[in-house]
Amino acid sequence: MKKAAVLKNLEEIINFINISNETMTLVEWKSPRSFKSFILDLNIIKEHATENIFFHLNKGNLKIVHIRKEDLIYTIGAESHVQYQILEAILEHVYQSFNETYDIKTIFSSYLDVNPIIFKNFKNELDNIMNNFDELNLIQKADVYCPACKKMMPVYIKKSIIKNAEFFPIPIVYSHQGHAILIYVDQNLDIRGVELVSITG
């Protein structure tokens, strides 16, 4: 296994992380350099959230990934150059950590009015995740030759893709600069093939 990707200064590329239910934000982490409010973006997201499926959105210079898990929606926003697999890996870890820290089901079934202040300390955990993401070792960087760009491109792949795979090799589409390549990775996250594919949508 190759060494993990070096992702330093996550706070410089991640704009916000939000954990919400249907009616309110439970946790919102914003990058110290970010002044923007993301409330409007989140309303759109709530309308388009099927459980356990990652949704990707591009809004101007912002790249957004969100996923619904049980009754909560986990959202992350980042600079547009950040690859989706990195954002998915962060969200997966945030979900896991949030559910290890709080018994969400019990909290929401025990209280009629849940005050988001009870989740206040989770912002510190999000700071921790931001500062130590590299050590969590959730991402692998691979160098892939793109036949359209005619050069090697760094592609980031989340390691959880292996344990959730139903078959190998796993196909991953890397869409960039107006075209897309289909990359096949095996159970060691080694690249097994690359081809240019047509895009619609």
> Minimum distance between the CB of residue 176 and Zn ion, rounded to whole angstroms?
6
CA distances to 82, 147, 150 from 194, rounded to whole Å, are 21, 9, 12
* Count of residues interacting with Zn ion (CB under 5 A): 3
Would you count residue 148 as binding Zn ion (CB under 5 A)? yes
Min separation Cβ 37 and Zn ion, Å: 35
Identify which range of 8-16, 26-34, 125-133, 139-147 contacts Zn ion by CB under 5 A.
139-147
- How many CA atoms are closer than 13 Å to the CA of 114, on its beta-carbon side? 22
From the CB of 77, what's the least distance to Zn ion, in Å? 25
To Zn ion, the closest distance from the beta carbon of 198 in angstroms equals 14
Among positions 149, 152, 173, 182, the unique one binding Zn ion when judged by CB under 5 A:
149
Which of 162, 194 has the CB closer to Zn ion? 194
Element (H, E) at 64: strand 62-69
Among 64, 146, 170, 172, binds Zn ion (CB under 5 A): 146
* Residue 56 φ then ψ, to 5°: -115, 140
φ, ψ of residue 143 in degrees (nearest 5):
-100, 125
Q: Which segment (2-10, 104-112, 123-131, 142-150) binds Zn ion by CB under 5 A? A: 142-150
Determine the Cα–Cα distance for residues 19 and 154; give it in Å rounded to an integer. Answer: 30
The rounded distance, in Å, linking the Cα atoms of 140 and 85 is 10
DSSP state of 169: S
Least distance to Zn ion from the beta carbon of 73, Å?
32
Contact residues for Zn ion, defined by CB under 5 A: 146, 148-149
